[in-house]
Amino acid sequence: MIKVNTEDYPWQPGMTVRSLLDERLFTFRHIIVRVNGEYVPEEHFDKSAIHDEDDVIVLHLMAGG
Protein backbone atom coordinates (compact mmCIF):
# COMPACT_ATOMS: atom_id res chain seq x y z
CA MET A 1 0.00 0.00 0.00
CA ILE A 2 1.28 3.47 -0.79
CA LYS A 3 -0.01 6.89 0.14
CA VAL A 4 -1.09 9.30 -2.54
CA ASN A 5 -1.90 12.77 -1.26
CA THR A 6 -2.21 11.35 2.26
CA GLU A 7 -4.71 8.67 1.29
CA ASP A 8 -4.06 4.93 1.01
CA TYR A 9 -3.74 3.59 -2.50
CA PRO A 10 -2.94 0.06 -3.69
CA TRP A 11 0.56 -0.59 -4.99
CA GLN A 12 1.65 -2.97 -7.75
CA PRO A 13 5.14 -4.10 -8.67
CA GLY A 14 6.54 -2.11 -11.56
CA MET A 15 4.67 1.06 -10.61
CA THR A 16 6.35 4.24 -11.79
CA VAL A 17 5.40 7.87 -11.29
CA ARG A 18 4.08 7.90 -14.85
CA SER A 19 2.00 4.76 -14.44
CA LEU A 20 0.53 6.10 -11.20
CA LEU A 21 -0.42 9.42 -12.79
CA ASP A 22 -2.06 7.58 -15.67
CA GLU A 23 -3.94 5.25 -13.36
CA ARG A 24 -5.21 8.11 -11.22
CA LEU A 25 -6.14 10.14 -14.32
CA PHE A 26 -3.93 12.98 -13.11
CA THR A 27 -3.76 14.54 -16.53
CA PHE A 28 -3.07 18.08 -15.39
CA ARG A 29 0.33 19.15 -16.65
CA HIS A 30 1.24 21.57 -13.95
CA ILE A 31 2.03 19.20 -11.14
CA ILE A 32 4.73 18.80 -8.55
CA VAL A 33 5.56 15.22 -7.63
CA ARG A 34 7.38 14.33 -4.46
CA VAL A 35 8.15 10.74 -3.44
CA ASN A 36 9.14 10.38 0.20
CA GLY A 37 9.81 14.11 0.27
CA GLU A 38 12.09 14.09 -2.79
CA TYR A 39 11.08 16.16 -5.80
CA VAL A 40 10.85 14.14 -9.04
CA PRO A 41 11.32 16.18 -12.21
CA GLU A 42 9.00 15.55 -15.15
CA GLU A 43 11.77 14.03 -17.30
CA HIS A 44 12.10 11.22 -14.76
CA PHE A 45 8.43 10.27 -14.48
CA ASP A 46 8.75 7.27 -16.77
CA LYS A 47 11.80 5.87 -15.02
CA SER A 48 11.09 6.76 -11.38
CA ALA A 49 9.95 3.62 -9.65
CA ILE A 50 7.47 3.77 -6.82
CA HIS A 51 7.99 1.18 -4.11
CA ASP A 52 5.60 -0.32 -1.65
CA GLU A 53 4.95 1.94 1.39
CA ASP A 54 6.15 5.05 -0.49
CA ASP A 55 4.57 8.39 0.35
CA VAL A 56 3.64 10.16 -2.86
CA ILE A 57 2.46 13.75 -3.14
CA VAL A 58 1.04 14.97 -6.44
CA LEU A 59 0.46 18.67 -6.02
CA HIS A 60 -1.69 20.16 -8.73
CA LEU A 61 -0.89 23.83 -9.08
CA MET A 62 -4.23 24.82 -10.36
CA ALA A 63 -4.66 28.57 -10.34
CA GLY A 64 -8.38 28.51 -10.72
CA GLY A 65 -10.42 31.58 -11.33
Partner 1 sequence: MGAILKQYSYTPEKIIRGYSGKSLYINVSDLRIEEKELTDFMKEKFIGGKGFDLWYLWNAVTPETRWNSPENEIVMSVGPLGGITQYSGTGKTLIASISPLTGIPIDSNAGGYFGPLLKFSGWDAFELQGKSDKDIIIFIDGNNGLIQIEEGEEYPEDTHLLAEELTSRFAVDENDMVNVSVVCSGSAAKHGYMGMLNFSFYDPRRKLCRFKQAARGGLGTILRDKKVKALVVKYKGITPNLNNAADISTINKVGVKYHKEMHDLDSKQNKMRQIGTANTVMIMSQYDLLPTRNFQTGGDPETIKISPQVFINEWLTQGLHDGCWYGCTMSCAKCADHFLLTSGPYAGERVTVDGPEYECVAGLGANLGIFDPQAILEENFYCDTYGIDLISFATCTAFIMECYQRGQITQEQMGGLDLRFGNKDAVLELLHQMSRGEGFGKLAGLGTRKLKKIFVEEFGADPALLEDIGMEVKGLEYSEYAHKESLAQQGGFAMATKGPQHDEAWLIFMDMVNKQIPTFEDKANALYYFPMFRTWFGLVGLCKLPWNDIVPSDNHKTSEPAKVPEHVQNYVDIFNAVTGQNIDNDELILQSERVYQFQRVFSVRMGKGERKDDYAPYRSLGPVSREEYLSRQELYDKQLRDLQGLEPESMNLDEKIAKLRAYREDQYEQLMDAVYRRRGWTMNGIPTPERLKEIGMDLPMLLEVIEPKL
Give the whole-angstrom CA distance, residue 55 versus residue 33: 11
Site string for partner 1, 4-43 (x = CB under 8 A): -xxx-----------------xxxxxx-x------x----
State the number of binding residues for partner 1 (CB under 8 A).
20
CB burial class (10 A; 0-12, 13-18, 19+) of residue 4?
buried
**Least distance in angstroms from the C-beta of 64 to partner 1:** 3
DSSP state for residue 38 in the 8-state scheme: E
- Contact set with partner 1 (CB under 8 A): 5-7, 25-30, 32, 39, 57-65
